[in-house]
Amino acid sequence: MSVEAAPRTFRPSLSGHSPLTVLAYIIVTVALVVAVAGPWLITQDPLMFSADVNMPPGNGHILGTDDAGQDVYSRLVVGTGLSLFYGASAALVALVIGSVIALLAMALGRPTEIALFAFIDLIRALPGILFALACIVAFEPGVGSVVLALGVSFAPNFALITRATYLQQMAQPYTSAAKVLGAGRLRIALVHVLPNIAGALITQFAMILPRCIVSESVLSFLGLGVSPETPTWGRMIASATSYIEEAPHAALAPIIALSLVTFALAIVGNSIRKRFNVSRKSVTL
Protein backbone atom coordinates (compact mmCIF):
# COMPACT_ATOMS: atom_id res chain seq x y z
CA MET A 1 0.00 0.00 0.00
CA SER A 2 1.28 3.42 -0.90
CA VAL A 3 0.10 5.65 1.91
CA GLU A 4 3.11 7.94 1.48
CA ALA A 5 1.74 8.96 -1.91
CA ALA A 6 -1.37 10.53 -0.40
CA PRO A 7 -2.41 13.51 -2.52
CA ARG A 8 -1.68 16.79 -0.79
CA THR A 9 -4.13 18.91 -2.76
CA PHE A 10 -7.67 18.71 -1.48
CA ARG A 11 -10.18 19.71 -4.15
CA PRO A 12 -13.81 19.49 -3.05
CA SER A 13 -15.12 19.35 -6.59
CA LEU A 14 -17.51 16.85 -8.07
CA SER A 15 -15.71 16.64 -11.39
CA GLY A 16 -14.02 13.34 -11.98
CA HIS A 17 -16.56 11.46 -9.89
CA SER A 18 -18.99 8.99 -11.34
CA PRO A 19 -22.71 9.82 -11.15
CA LEU A 20 -23.04 6.99 -8.60
CA THR A 21 -20.52 8.67 -6.30
CA VAL A 22 -22.24 12.04 -6.67
CA LEU A 23 -25.56 10.41 -5.81
CA ALA A 24 -23.98 8.72 -2.80
CA TYR A 25 -22.60 12.04 -1.50
CA ILE A 26 -26.05 13.61 -1.92
CA ILE A 27 -27.73 10.77 0.03
CA VAL A 28 -25.19 11.02 2.84
CA THR A 29 -25.62 14.81 2.99
CA VAL A 30 -29.41 14.49 3.16
CA ALA A 31 -29.12 11.84 5.90
CA LEU A 32 -26.79 14.07 7.91
CA VAL A 33 -29.14 17.06 7.54
CA VAL A 34 -32.10 14.92 8.65
CA ALA A 35 -30.07 13.56 11.57
CA VAL A 36 -29.13 17.05 12.79
CA ALA A 37 -32.42 18.81 11.99
CA GLY A 38 -34.54 15.87 13.19
CA PRO A 39 -36.32 17.65 16.07
CA TRP A 40 -37.61 20.34 13.66
CA LEU A 41 -38.68 17.90 10.94
CA ILE A 42 -40.95 15.58 12.92
CA THR A 43 -44.71 16.06 12.72
CA GLN A 44 -45.52 14.50 16.09
CA ASP A 45 -43.90 12.89 19.12
CA PRO A 46 -42.24 9.69 17.78
CA LEU A 47 -43.06 7.90 21.04
CA MET A 48 -46.74 8.88 21.18
CA PHE A 49 -49.05 5.87 21.02
CA SER A 50 -52.48 6.06 19.41
CA ALA A 51 -55.40 3.79 18.59
CA ASP A 52 -54.78 4.15 14.84
CA VAL A 53 -52.51 1.11 14.51
CA ASN A 54 -50.99 -0.12 11.23
CA MET A 55 -52.53 2.74 9.22
CA PRO A 56 -51.33 3.03 5.60
CA PRO A 57 -49.68 6.32 4.56
CA GLY A 58 -52.06 9.31 4.48
CA ASN A 59 -54.51 10.90 6.94
CA GLY A 60 -51.96 13.13 8.61
CA HIS A 61 -49.34 10.36 8.82
CA ILE A 62 -46.96 10.83 5.89
CA LEU A 63 -45.71 7.23 6.15
CA GLY A 64 -48.61 5.75 8.09
CA THR A 65 -48.49 4.31 11.59
CA ASP A 66 -46.91 1.17 13.07
CA ASP A 67 -48.27 -1.59 15.29
CA ALA A 68 -48.41 0.73 18.32
CA GLY A 69 -50.06 3.57 16.43
CA GLN A 70 -46.84 5.57 16.39
CA ASP A 71 -46.08 7.86 13.45
CA VAL A 72 -43.63 6.03 11.15
CA TYR A 73 -42.33 9.24 9.53
CA SER A 74 -41.45 10.88 12.86
CA ARG A 75 -39.82 7.70 14.14
CA LEU A 76 -37.86 7.37 10.89
CA VAL A 77 -36.55 10.94 11.20
CA VAL A 78 -35.48 10.47 14.81
CA GLY A 79 -34.13 7.02 13.95
CA THR A 80 -31.86 8.49 11.26
CA GLY A 81 -30.01 10.48 13.89
CA LEU A 82 -29.88 7.58 16.34
CA SER A 83 -28.72 4.97 13.84
CA LEU A 84 -26.02 7.23 12.40
CA PHE A 85 -24.89 8.26 15.89
CA TYR A 86 -24.67 4.73 17.30
CA GLY A 87 -23.04 3.42 14.13
CA ALA A 88 -20.47 6.21 14.14
CA SER A 89 -19.82 5.76 17.87
CA ALA A 90 -19.23 2.04 17.41
CA ALA A 91 -16.87 2.63 14.47
CA LEU A 92 -15.03 5.28 16.51
CA VAL A 93 -14.66 2.92 19.47
CA ALA A 94 -13.29 0.28 17.08
CA LEU A 95 -10.86 2.81 15.56
CA VAL A 96 -9.55 4.01 18.92
CA ILE A 97 -9.30 0.59 20.58
CA GLY A 98 -7.93 -1.18 17.51
CA SER A 99 -5.36 1.33 16.35
CA VAL A 100 -4.10 2.62 19.71
CA ILE A 101 -3.67 -0.83 21.23
CA ALA A 102 -2.04 -2.18 18.07
CA LEU A 103 0.31 0.80 17.83
CA LEU A 104 1.37 0.49 21.49
CA ALA A 105 1.81 -3.27 21.18
CA MET A 106 3.95 -2.87 18.05
CA ALA A 107 6.03 -0.12 19.68
CA LEU A 108 6.62 -2.09 22.89
CA GLY A 109 8.22 -4.96 21.03
CA ARG A 110 7.79 -8.48 19.77
CA PRO A 111 6.27 -10.19 22.87
CA THR A 112 3.39 -7.72 23.26
CA GLU A 113 2.82 -7.83 19.51
CA ILE A 114 2.52 -11.62 19.53
CA ALA A 115 0.23 -11.60 22.57
CA LEU A 116 -2.09 -8.97 21.15
CA PHE A 117 -2.40 -10.51 17.72
CA ALA A 118 -3.02 -13.96 19.20
CA PHE A 119 -5.96 -12.41 21.05
CA ILE A 120 -7.12 -10.77 17.83
CA ASP A 121 -6.96 -14.11 16.01
CA LEU A 122 -9.21 -15.43 18.74
CA ILE A 123 -11.82 -12.71 18.21
CA ARG A 124 -11.63 -13.16 14.45
CA ALA A 125 -12.23 -16.90 14.72
CA LEU A 126 -15.69 -16.24 16.16
CA PRO A 127 -18.42 -15.08 13.81
CA GLY A 128 -18.78 -11.33 14.44
CA ILE A 129 -22.46 -11.26 15.32
CA LEU A 130 -22.05 -14.19 17.71
CA PHE A 131 -19.21 -12.40 19.48
CA ALA A 132 -21.25 -9.21 19.76
CA LEU A 133 -24.28 -11.19 20.98
CA ALA A 134 -22.26 -12.84 23.74
CA CYS A 135 -20.80 -9.47 24.81
CA ILE A 136 -24.16 -7.71 24.84
CA VAL A 137 -25.85 -10.37 26.90
CA ALA A 138 -22.89 -10.34 29.29
CA PHE A 139 -23.14 -6.56 29.83
CA GLU A 140 -26.98 -6.39 29.78
CA PRO A 141 -28.60 -5.11 26.56
CA GLY A 142 -28.56 -1.35 26.12
CA VAL A 143 -27.05 1.44 24.08
CA GLY A 144 -23.67 1.38 25.82
CA SER A 145 -23.14 -2.35 25.47
CA VAL A 146 -24.22 -2.34 21.80
CA VAL A 147 -21.67 0.36 20.97
CA LEU A 148 -18.99 -1.36 23.03
CA ALA A 149 -19.68 -4.83 21.65
CA LEU A 150 -19.65 -3.62 18.03
CA GLY A 151 -16.56 -1.54 18.77
CA VAL A 152 -14.69 -4.53 20.14
CA SER A 153 -15.78 -6.88 17.37
CA PHE A 154 -14.65 -4.44 14.65
CA ALA A 155 -11.45 -3.40 16.47
CA PRO A 156 -9.38 -6.25 14.92
CA ASN A 157 -9.91 -4.73 11.44
CA PHE A 158 -8.22 -1.56 12.63
CA ALA A 159 -5.50 -3.44 14.51
CA LEU A 160 -4.57 -5.45 11.41
CA ILE A 161 -4.36 -2.41 9.16
CA THR A 162 -2.38 -0.57 11.83
CA ARG A 163 0.15 -3.39 11.98
CA ALA A 164 0.49 -3.59 8.20
CA THR A 165 0.97 0.17 7.75
CA TYR A 166 3.20 0.46 10.83
CA LEU A 167 5.61 -2.12 9.43
CA GLN A 168 5.71 -0.28 6.11
CA GLN A 169 6.40 3.05 7.79
CA MET A 170 9.16 1.53 9.95
CA ALA A 171 10.94 0.57 6.72
CA GLN A 172 10.91 4.21 5.59
CA PRO A 173 14.01 6.39 6.02
CA TYR A 174 12.24 8.96 8.20
CA THR A 175 11.64 6.50 11.02
CA SER A 176 15.29 5.45 10.94
CA ALA A 177 16.23 9.14 11.04
CA ALA A 178 14.03 9.64 14.10
CA LYS A 179 15.65 6.61 15.71
CA VAL A 180 19.13 7.99 15.01
CA LEU A 181 18.11 11.31 16.53
CA GLY A 182 17.29 9.44 19.73
CA ALA A 183 13.51 9.26 19.64
CA GLY A 184 12.05 6.42 21.69
CA ARG A 185 9.89 3.66 20.17
CA LEU A 186 6.69 5.10 21.62
CA ARG A 187 7.53 8.58 20.40
CA ILE A 188 8.24 7.29 16.91
CA ALA A 189 4.99 5.33 16.89
CA LEU A 190 2.72 8.08 18.16
CA VAL A 191 4.38 11.26 16.88
CA HIS A 192 5.92 10.12 13.60
CA VAL A 193 4.12 7.03 12.36
CA LEU A 194 0.55 7.77 13.51
CA PRO A 195 0.09 10.91 11.35
CA ASN A 196 1.41 8.99 8.37
CA ILE A 197 -1.00 6.08 8.75
CA ALA A 198 -3.99 8.34 9.50
CA GLY A 199 -5.13 8.14 5.87
CA ALA A 200 -5.32 4.36 6.01
CA LEU A 201 -7.17 4.50 9.33
CA ILE A 202 -9.68 7.08 8.07
CA THR A 203 -10.27 4.90 5.02
CA GLN A 204 -10.86 1.88 7.21
CA PHE A 205 -13.24 3.93 9.36
CA ALA A 206 -15.25 4.91 6.28
CA MET A 207 -15.45 1.27 5.18
CA ILE A 208 -16.46 0.03 8.65
CA LEU A 209 -19.06 2.74 9.37
CA PRO A 210 -21.86 1.32 7.17
CA ARG A 211 -21.19 -2.16 8.57
CA CYS A 212 -21.55 -0.83 12.12
CA ILE A 213 -24.89 0.79 11.23
CA VAL A 214 -26.15 -2.46 9.72
CA SER A 215 -24.85 -4.53 12.65
CA GLU A 216 -26.64 -2.27 15.12
CA SER A 217 -29.83 -2.82 13.12
CA VAL A 218 -29.31 -6.58 13.07
CA LEU A 219 -28.74 -6.70 16.83
CA SER A 220 -31.83 -4.58 17.48
CA PHE A 221 -33.73 -6.80 15.06
CA LEU A 222 -32.65 -9.86 17.05
CA GLY A 223 -33.98 -8.17 20.17
CA LEU A 224 -30.56 -7.56 21.73
CA GLY A 225 -29.98 -3.97 20.73
CA VAL A 226 -31.44 -0.79 22.07
CA SER A 227 -34.74 -0.58 23.98
CA PRO A 228 -38.08 0.04 22.17
CA GLU A 229 -38.17 3.69 23.29
CA THR A 230 -35.12 4.29 21.10
CA PRO A 231 -36.46 4.07 17.54
CA THR A 232 -33.29 3.19 15.63
CA TRP A 233 -33.97 1.73 12.21
CA GLY A 234 -33.26 -1.81 13.42
CA ARG A 235 -35.68 -1.39 16.31
CA MET A 236 -38.39 -0.14 13.91
CA ILE A 237 -37.78 -3.07 11.56
CA ALA A 238 -37.90 -5.50 14.48
CA SER A 239 -41.32 -4.38 15.72
CA ALA A 240 -42.72 -3.98 12.19
CA THR A 241 -41.77 -7.47 10.92
CA SER A 242 -44.29 -9.12 13.28
CA TYR A 243 -47.05 -7.23 11.43
CA ILE A 244 -45.51 -7.41 7.98
CA GLU A 245 -48.75 -8.62 6.36
CA GLU A 246 -50.91 -5.86 7.87
CA ALA A 247 -48.46 -2.98 7.64
CA PRO A 248 -45.58 -3.65 5.23
CA HIS A 249 -44.97 0.12 4.98
CA ALA A 250 -43.84 0.23 8.63
CA ALA A 251 -41.01 -2.20 7.84
CA LEU A 252 -40.36 -0.91 4.34
CA ALA A 253 -39.69 2.72 5.39
CA PRO A 254 -36.78 1.97 7.78
CA ILE A 255 -35.36 -0.82 5.60
CA ILE A 256 -35.23 1.50 2.56
CA ALA A 257 -33.65 4.24 4.67
CA LEU A 258 -31.12 1.75 6.02
CA SER A 259 -30.33 0.37 2.55
CA LEU A 260 -29.97 3.80 0.95
CA VAL A 261 -27.67 5.13 3.65
CA THR A 262 -25.46 2.04 3.92
CA PHE A 263 -25.26 1.91 0.12
CA ALA A 264 -24.26 5.59 -0.06
CA LEU A 265 -21.77 5.29 2.82
CA ALA A 266 -20.10 2.29 1.17
CA ILE A 267 -19.69 4.21 -2.10
CA VAL A 268 -18.41 7.27 -0.21
CA GLY A 269 -16.00 5.03 1.70
CA ASN A 270 -14.68 3.71 -1.57
CA SER A 271 -14.17 7.22 -2.91
CA ILE A 272 -12.33 8.20 0.30
CA ARG A 273 -10.15 5.14 -0.19
CA LYS A 274 -9.24 6.37 -3.66
CA ARG A 275 -8.56 9.87 -2.36
CA PHE A 276 -6.07 8.55 0.18
CA ASN A 277 -4.70 6.23 -2.49
CA VAL A 278 -5.08 3.15 -0.30
CA SER A 279 -5.13 -0.04 -2.35
CA ARG A 280 -8.39 -1.94 -2.07
CA LYS A 281 -6.75 -5.12 -0.89
CA SER A 282 -5.09 -3.52 2.13
CA VAL A 283 -8.47 -2.58 3.56
CA THR A 284 -9.62 -5.50 5.66
CA LEU A 285 -13.30 -6.22 5.49
Partner 1 sequence: MNPHLLRLLGSIGLDILRSLAIALGIIIFTFFVIRMIPGDVVDVRGVEGSLTYSQQTSMREDLGLNQPWLTQFGEWSGMILSGDLGESSRYNRPIVDLLAIVLPSTLMLGATALAIGLIFGISLPTLACLFPRSIFVGIVEFITIWSITMPTFSIGIMSVIVFAVWLDWIPAIGNFLVPAIILGVDTTGSLAKMLYEDMKDVESSEYVRAARAKGLSRSRIILRHVLPNALSVTIALIGMMLAGIFTGALTMEVVFGLPGLGTMTLQAIQGRDYPVVQAIIIWLGLAVIFANLMTEIIRKLVDPRLRTS
Query: Which parts of this chain interact with partner 1 (CB under 8 A)?
Result: 118-119, 121-122, 124-130, 133-135, 137-140, 210-211, 214, 217-218, 221-224, 237, 241, 244-245, 248, 251-252, 255-256, 258-259, 262-263, 266-267, 270, 280-281, 285
Identify which of residues 20 and 186 has a Cβ nearer to partner 1 in the complex: 20
Measure the CA–CA gap between 84 and 213, rounded to whole angstroms. 7
Q: CB 121 → partner 1: shortest distance, Å?
A: 5
User: Which own/partner pairs from 248-257 qualify as long-range (CB within 8 Å, at least 24 positions apart)?
Assistant: 249/56, 249/57, 249/63, 249/64, 249/72, 250/54, 250/63, 250/64, 250/65, 250/66, 250/67, 250/72, 253/63, 253/72, 253/73, 253/76, 254/76, 254/79, 257/76, 257/79, 257/80, 257/233
Note the helical H segments in 171-188: 173-180, 185-187
Identify which of residues 45 and 121 has a Cβ nearer to partner 1 in the complex: 121
Q: CB 224 → partner 1: shortest distance, Å?
A: 7
Identify which of residues 31 and 189 has a Cβ nearer to partner 1 in the complex: 31
Q: CB 263 → partner 1: shortest distance, Å?
A: 4
Identify which of residues 161 and 193 has a Cβ nearer to partner 1 in the complex: 161
Q: CB 35 → partner 1: shortest distance, Å?
A: 19
Identify which of residues 36 and 280 has a Cβ nearer to partner 1 in the complex: 280
What 3-state class would DSSP assign to 65? strand
Running DSSP on this structure, what letter comes out for residue 280? G
Q: CB 209 → partner 1: shortest distance, Å?
A: 13
Residue 225 near residue 50 (C-beta atoms within 8 A)? no
